Amino acid sequence: MLQKRRTTLEDVARLANVSAITVSRALRRPDMVSPELRKRIDAAVERLAYVPNFAASRLASARTHSIGVVVSSLSNGIFADYLQAIYDSLLPLGFRPVVVSSRYSAEEEEGAIKALLGQNVEALILVGVNQTRAAQRVLERSRIPVVQTFELADDPIDLNVGLSQRKGGYAATRFLLDLGHQRIAYLSGQRDDRARARLEGYCAALEEAGLDCSSLVGWLPAQATISLGRKLTLDVLAVEAPDAIFCCDDNIALGALFACQQAGLDVPGRISLIGFNDLEFAVASNPPLSTVLTPRADMGRVASELVLQVIATGKRPARRQIDLGFEIVARGSTGPRGARL
């Protein structure tokens, strides 16, 4: 839960036992302050999780009408609908999204959060719920509305809109098990928190069915792309004989489809494939990809509505966490085990 008061320059000065002017000078022109004094001020800044608000000196009490948005990637298509919904929700009401990519790095996300707070954004919308402890501290002290999205947090910083990625992974695997498949591979690219949660759901479903989940997991620390999906699938096919593959992303699933076709394996007659997210091309592939639909546009819209509500009223809603759920979409890439051997 957010704390009531944002840390000020005066708080830092008081803890460091110097004047506010000295703190300001140390932050803006460190070369003008002695190393010993700068070390003391830096320690106070770190302890109080203070974020210098340089925009405030320029804008005084003026509002910026800007909303900071931190996404994991600007090139991954899963964020397109999400960002479009944010723009569509904010721009008509005079608010401007300021979008930054963390490039799947918790440290870069922390830096982006501090930079956006320094620009005096009026709210923050974040992808994911596992920010660094330092980022959590500055967010808790910021006083502005913060919405964590795409996942459900055990203990949200402020507001939370998303779905259970673990349950999504479990449901996708359970769907394949119910079709009679037993040797189910899991393919993933970048092991971000969402991919890890889906893997946990995959393992939970297999273990519940009395099956081992350790031998058919393939991943590479790279962004989930079609070419990566093709490579991972060919690697798995070279050493194993799965009868189904759960791909953590539709890009991976499309690459898996191409790899199976290249290897002369019928989909879904020989191998069933299911992806995740329901990207636009999933319905247009041949065969169309079964997948887990995630409400990304709704996440962007609801997150925007929440921050606008808090900005307008100054009050948090009674319901601080919203689970938008997911849906299994069965298409032509999945079928019963042994349909065509």
- Provide CB contacts within 8 A for 271, sequence distance 6+: 242, 243, 244, 245, 260, 265
Beta-bridged to residue 244, according to DSSP, are 184, 272
Residue-range definition of the domain harbouring residue 33 = 1-50
- Provide CB contacts within 8 A for 217, sequence distance 6+: 185, 186, 187, 188, 199
Domain end position, chosen among 13, 35, 50: 50
Beta-bridged to residue 246, according to DSSP, are 186, 274
- Alpha carbons 48 and 76: distance in angstroms, whole number: 35
Establish if 127 belongs to a structural domain.
no
* Total structural domains within the chain: 2
Question: What CATH number does the domain containing 26 carry?
Answer: 1.10.260.40
- Alpha carbons 16 and 14: distance in angstroms, whole number: 6
Q: State the Cα angle at 193 between 206 and 310, rounded to 5°.
A: 125
Question: What CATH number does the domain containing 262 carry?
Answer: 3.40.50.2300
Establish if 146 belongs to a structural domain.
no
Instruction: Summarize pLDDT for 234-263 with one digit per residue, the tens.
Output: 999 998 889 999 999 999 999 999 999 999
Residue holding tokens 């273990």?
Answer: 207
Structure tokens at 323: 């689970």
Beta-bridged to residue 321, according to DSSP, are 160
Q: What is the DSSP letter of 264?
A: T
pLDDT tens string, the chain, 341 residues long: the values are 444 566 777 888 888 888 776 887 788 778 778 888 888 888 888 888 887 765 555 444 467 899 999 999 998 889 999 999 999 999 999 999 999 999 999 999 999 999 999 999 999 999 999 999 999 999 999 989 999 999 999 999 999 999 999 999 999 999 999 999 999 999 998 767 899 999 999 999 999 999 988 778 887 777 789 999 999 999 999 988 899 999 999 999 999 999 999 999 999 999 999 999 999 999 999 999 999 999 999 999 999 999 999 998 889 999 999 999 999 999 999 999 876 54
Structure tokens at 295: 């409400």
Q: Is 158 left (phi over 0), alpha (psi -120 to 50) or beta?
A: alpha
Establish if 7 belongs to a structural domain.
yes
Instruction: Summarize pLDDT for 156-195 with one digit per residue, the tens.
Output: 999 999 999 999 999 999 999 999 999 999 999 876 789 9
